[in-house]
Amino acid sequence: MSKAVTLQKTVSLLEDADRLVIVTHVNPDGDAIGSALALAEALRVKGKMVIVTIDDEISSFYKFMPGIDTFVRFSADEQVEADLLVVMDASSLDRIGKVVNCVRAPILNIDHHVSNTGYADYLYLDVMACATGEIVYELLRELSVTISKDMAFCLYVAIVTDCGYFKYSNTTPKCLNYAAELLSIGVQPDVVSDFLEMKSRNDVNLLSKVLETLDFHHNGRIASIMISLENYDADIATDSFIHYPRYIEGVEVAVMFKAVDAEVTRVSMRSRLLDVSRVALSYGGGGHKRAAGFTLQAELAVAKEQTLKRLTEEMDLL
C-alpha cells in the first residue's frame, strides 16, 4: 500500500526533486492533460527539469491546450533518469502503460478517484476534489508559484471536464470558488467552452445517425441507442451520446450499444435509481452506481436483447 501524504508533504516531495517525470493516464481527458501541463509548467518555473509524458496518442481535439506539444512518448526500452515519477489522475498503475518501466524513481501519485488502488510510494488522494486539477490548484498555491494564465487555463479545463461543467454531483462550493479564482487570473470562460464544445462534421453526422436508433422499452422506462459496426469510428468520441436518451422524460435507465467488432459490443448505461454498476460487474465490467459499462462477446442485436432483458428484470426488482 501507498504511504498517504498530506498536501504539505506532497509539496516537499516536489520541491526536493530536481528532475521529475510527470505522467498521466492513457486515453487522457481534460483533467489528465490539464493537471499534468499545469503542474509541469509550475515546476519548470521553479527551475526544475520536467518531462511530461503519456503512453498513448493524444487526441488532436486537445491541440488548443497550452503546452500540449511538450508531451513526449517513451519508447519501450527507454530509460529515463529522474528523482521522482509523478503520476497524475491515475487510480491504478496499468493506467500509465509502460512508463513505469522507463523511469526508475519513487512514485508520487496525485489523484481524486475513490477507486485508487494504492500502488504508489506516496499517495496524495483527495476524493472530495471534483478533479485532479482542483488538487493541482492547491499545490500551486502552496508551491508559491505565480499562477500564469496558461496554468490557470489548463486547470480550468481540468475542473470543468471532471465536474461536467458544474453539472455533476461532485461539484462543490470549493470547486466553483476555485473556478472563480481562475477566471480572476485571466481565463475567459467563453474561450474555454468554445474549445471544449468543438465537434467535427463526423461527430455531428454520427450523432444524427445514432439518434435515429432511439428506442424505448419497458413502458418508456428504458431508452436505448445503437452505433452499428458500419457507423463505428474509433476516432469519434461518443461518450456524450448517451446523455440524449438519459435525459428524456420518464426514462430511468439509458443504454448505448456500440458494435466495435462483428462479435463485440460495448454497452454503456446511465441511470437515475438503478445501481447499474452491479449489472456491469456481473458481465465483467465496472463503473459507478449511476454510470457503468461492460463489453459483451456478442453481435449488436444479441447484445441489445440480452442487456434489455437483464435491465428489465433488475428494474422489476426495484
Is 240 near its own copies (CB under 8 A)?
no
Closest CA relative to residue 175, chosen from 117, 135, 204, 224: 135
Sign of CA dihedral 87, 91, 96, 99: positive
Q: Are 46 and 102 in contact (CB under 8 A)?
A: no
* Number of shown-chain residues binding its own copies (CB under 8 A): 47
Which CB atom, from 63 or from 98, has the smaller least distance to its own copies?
Answer: 63
Which CB atom, from 69 or from 190, has the smaller least distance to its own copies?
Answer: 190
Is 64 near its own copies (CB under 8 A)?
no
d(CA 275, CA 254): 12
Closest CA relative to residue 310, chosen from 283, 286, 289, 290: 283
**Residue 68: burial class (beta carbons within 10 Å; 0-12, 13-18, 19+):** middle
Is 283 near its own copies (CB under 8 A)?
no
- Cα 301 → chain centroid: 29
Binds its own copies by CB under 8 A, chosen from 7, 93, 214, 237:
214
Residue that is written with C-alpha cell 459507478 in the block: 288
Q: How far is the CB of 238 from its own copies (least distance, A)?
A: 15
Residues 85-114 that bind its own copies (CB under 8 A): none
Region from 51-59, 141-149, 247-255, 302-310 binding its own copies, contact rule CB under 8 A: 247-255
Binds its own copies by CB under 8 A, chosen from 176, 273, 301, 302:
176
d(CA 54, CA 60): 14
d(CA 265, CA 246): 20
- Helix, strand, or coil here: 267? strand
Closest CA relative to residue 308, chosen from 300, 262, 286, 249: 300
Q: How far is the CB of 298 from its own copies (least distance, A)?
A: 26
Is 239 near its own copies (CB under 8 A)?
no
Q: How far is the CB of 156 from its own copies (least distance, A)?
A: 10
Q: Are 256 and 222 in contact (CB under 8 A)?
A: no
Is 208 near its own copies (CB under 8 A)?
yes
Which CB atom, from 73 or from 209, has the smaller least distance to its own copies?
Answer: 209
Binding mask 140-169 for its own copies (x = CB under 8 A): --------------------x--xxxxxxx
- Cα 251 → chain centroid: 26
Which CB atom, from 16 or from 167, has the smaller least distance to its own copies?
Answer: 167
Is 6 near its own copies (CB under 8 A)?
no
| Residues in touch with its own copies (CB under 8 A) | 160, 163-169, 171-177, 179-181, 183-184, 188-190, 192-194, 197-201, 203-205, 207-208, 211-212, 214, 216, 243-245, 247-249, 272
